[in-house]
Structure 1
Amino acid sequence: MQPLLGLSLRDTQKGREGRIVGVDQSQATPVLWVCWAPGQGSERVELTREQFDALLAACRPPAPKPSYRAAEPTADTDTQTEPRRQVARR
């Protein structure tokens, strides 16, 4: 599944918004098919490989941050238990 399909785009130069409805990577130049807002039609948009790769990178979710919880002291390791005293009863 192509991660770009369905993403919203904004063309600030022409003041319009649309959605990516198709992606063609079979040629040397990647192509996006964009369906602009109702009444504005659809368009074939050619990108350079660098532009396409940058767009893919921008839509990927951020990598999860490493968890340092294991290195932090826990309640069990934070306190040391005192040895139990045995009390003799008479």
Structure 2
Amino acid sequence: MPPVPAGLSEWFAPGVYVGVVVLLFGALNKRIDDLNKRIDDLRDDLKASEARQREEMRELRSDLKALGGKVDRLVETLAAKAP
């Protein structure tokens, strides 16, 4: 087995450290990208939910106005019948 050149053995450990750091940095970047995608998906879901809630509130308000009119007519009818 040929001997390892002196310069190679001096650079081996730092090279391994740099390689490990690069791998960890790549994995961290992928995880951050995945989290950012998840956050974007949650924002989209939240916007859709808010839009549905706004539509439901519009419907409830219109129902409430219609009910208010019916209550007014009922009160007027009862007031007219009262002595």
Same fold by TM (over 0.5)? no
> TM-score scaled to structure 1, two decimals?
0.34
Q: Relative contact order (C-alpha < 8 Å, sep 6+): which is higher?
A: 1
Structure whose alpha-carbon radius of gyration is higher: 2
More helix per residue: 1 or 2?
2
